[in-house]
Amino acid sequence: MKSIDDPRTRDAIARSILENGPSTAAALGERLGLTPAGIRRHLDLLTADGILEAREPRVSSTRGRGRPSKVFVMTDSGREKFEHSYDDLAVAALKFMSAQSGEHLVTAFAKSRADDIERKGAIAIAKSSNKIDALASFLTEQGYAASVGPRTTGEELCQHHCPIAHVASEFPQLCEAETEAFSKLLGTHVQRLATIAHGDGVCTTYIPNISKKQPLTAGKARS
């Protein structure tokens, strides 16, 4: 049994939030097999260290009495701890490009990156019978820790991690172009609801009901 002060347990908790998105103490305890007292102790330490932040839930729960449980999310400094590198050089380079040649060059770079995502993603999707799940798996391989969840009239693609959040916070063109790439890959309009780059705990993209059993080939990607 691990000590209550074991830093490996705190790392496991932080990693769980990074990969699964904002979570309550109860959900984390169940997921990792920790007692309520144990999980609270670690969450307090992680919050004090600036790794996690406690927030009010986006949708209030109607179960039981009292206030809904707070959710814990990864802070920017917490992501940096688990990220191999935040590319400050990329930010500096894009700022230079923008200052010297104008925003259109940054936009062109964002589109080029999105085109690369679309090209590689189309190959992954073509091998699967479910386009949305295949896109999530592809994004996970790219470091986005993606998952898919149901919504009333469609599905929600969640990216629990963003390797370029630091850069995208300065240049939202990257997120916009990425969203357009998802739309082309899935063959339908999608809507970005939240982004890590803009301070949300997870990137979420709404996908309306589509036919998921007709993979889109790279040559048929369209707006």
How large a percentage of the chain has pLDDT more than 90?
44
Q: Which of 114-128, 160-174, 201-215 has the highest mean pLDDT?
A: 114-128
| Domain 7-82, CATH class in plain words | mainly alpha
Q: What are the residue boundaries of the structural domains of the chain, listed by start?
A: 7-82, 88-220
* Cβ pair 197, 168 in contact under 8 A: yes
Q: Do domains 7-82 and 88-220 have the same CATH topology?
A: no
User: Is it the case that residue 123 has pLDDT exceeding 70?
Assistant: yes
Burial level of 184, CB count in 10 A (0-12/13-18/19+)?
A: buried
Phi, psi of 80 (to 5 degrees): -65, -35
pLDDT band at 57 (very low <50, low <70, confident <90, very high): confident
Return the higher-pLDDT residue of 76 and 196. Answer: 196
Helices 103-126 and 173-186: angle between axes, nearest 10 degrees: 30
What average pLDDT does this structure show over 18-32?
Answer: 87
Q: Is 208 helix (H, G, I), strand (E, B) or coil?
A: strand
At residue 214, the pLDDT reads 46
Q: Which CATH number fits domain 88-220: 3.30.1380, 3.30.70, 3.90.550, 3.30.1360?
A: 3.30.1380
71 beta partners: 24, 55
At residue 87, the pLDDT reads 59
Under DSSP, the state recorded for 153 is T
